[in-house]
Amino acid sequence: MAAAWKHALDGQLAGLSGAERRSLFAYAYRNTAASRTALTFGLPLLFVIGWTRDYAVSPALAMDSLPRRLLLFWLLVAMALVMRSRLGAVWRETALVAYACVFSAGIAMTTLAEPERMSLTHVAAVLTTIIILPFALHRATAAAVVVVFSLPLFAMLRVLDADTSPFAAYAGFLLVGVGIGLGHRRVWLDTALDVFCLRKRLLARIHVDSLTGLLNREGWETRAARAFDQAMAARRPVALAYLDLDHFKRTNDTFGHAVGDQLLRAIAATLQSHCSAGELVARVGGEEFVVLLPGADEDAAFAFAERIRHAVAALPGPFSSSVSCGVARHRPGETLEQLVARADAAMLEAKRRGRNMVLRAESRVPTFSEDDGSGA
């Protein structure tokens, strides 16, 4: 059962890219923020509570241990602040290991000072292990937490020259704590992964056109804005092609909507086959498509649109198909919406001038015209 569980989790993780894995761990970290903050700031209070109890029993002994307990308290608070900060994941995971090490060392130091309380440290070690391990998102962090909890405690037993019984007791208690902690960690990560993958599938449904498999308008607005901003930051040229299928209503009316859907899928496949990595294509309307071309100038966008126009004209089927297209190159200070609007306007002008042509947004000079009747 455990092997099947691990295989299922690892199989889902294998389907995630590096960026998606980082997003998963960031999601899991955000969802444990409240409980992690409460626990990591609450555990140092154990040293304060213990000192208060000691002071009631023996003020002199309590005052003697006060500097040590204050040092441990503030070290734990400092580690908790690091884990709560906006620093990177590596720093947060390192702080978690350091937190576990300081807490374990604190228990060991307390026991060394008062060996008669050795039995009480069993419970503290087990509970703290159970509490901290689920927050170790990476396997290496979980292994390090187990190690740093074990070494100070067993070193303490060695210094006290304990016999076999305390060693066996500590080993048994730690094994129980580690087992429960790792079990909780596995359940939490498995749940987080399921929710993350479900969210990913839902976003894909929201952002992908079900008929063609291309980005829909919502997906276009999200992805294109990100790609556009990246191109602007890198000072790369950006061009855009806006395409509209000619006489699509007539195709639907003549051959039926099933054939119309077939044609839309064929157009989508043609666009995808001509797009390179980093270029975005979307279906933003009934028979309207838009392509973002980062790194392309106006001539490259024009050549791209011409290739699409010829490929669409050569599509097999009981219909004749053509597209009207407007292309535009980004101007300094222009937004993505303005770029799309200029390409759209050029496409509408191509429609007005006779369809089946590519028109530059700047020059409005068509390369080819073939008006074959009425319709969109």
- So which residues are the catalytic ones? 287
Q: Among 118, 111, 130, which residue's Cα sits nearest to residue 166? A: 118
Helix or strand or coil: residue 287? coil
Q: What are phi and psi of 236, to 5 degrees?
A: -95, 150
Q: Are 73 and 132 in contact (CB under 8 A)?
A: no
d(CA 173, CA 171): 6
Q: Among 376, 360, 337, 355, which residue's Cα sits nearest to residue 368? A: 355
Q: Are 31 and 137 in contact (CB under 8 A)?
A: no
Q: Provide the 10 A C-beta neighbour count for residue 189.
A: 19
Q: Are 371 and 355 in contact (CB under 8 A)?
A: yes
User: CA dist 344 to 141, 240, 349, Å?
Assistant: 53, 10, 9
Q: What are phi and psi of 32, to 5 degrees?
A: -105, 5
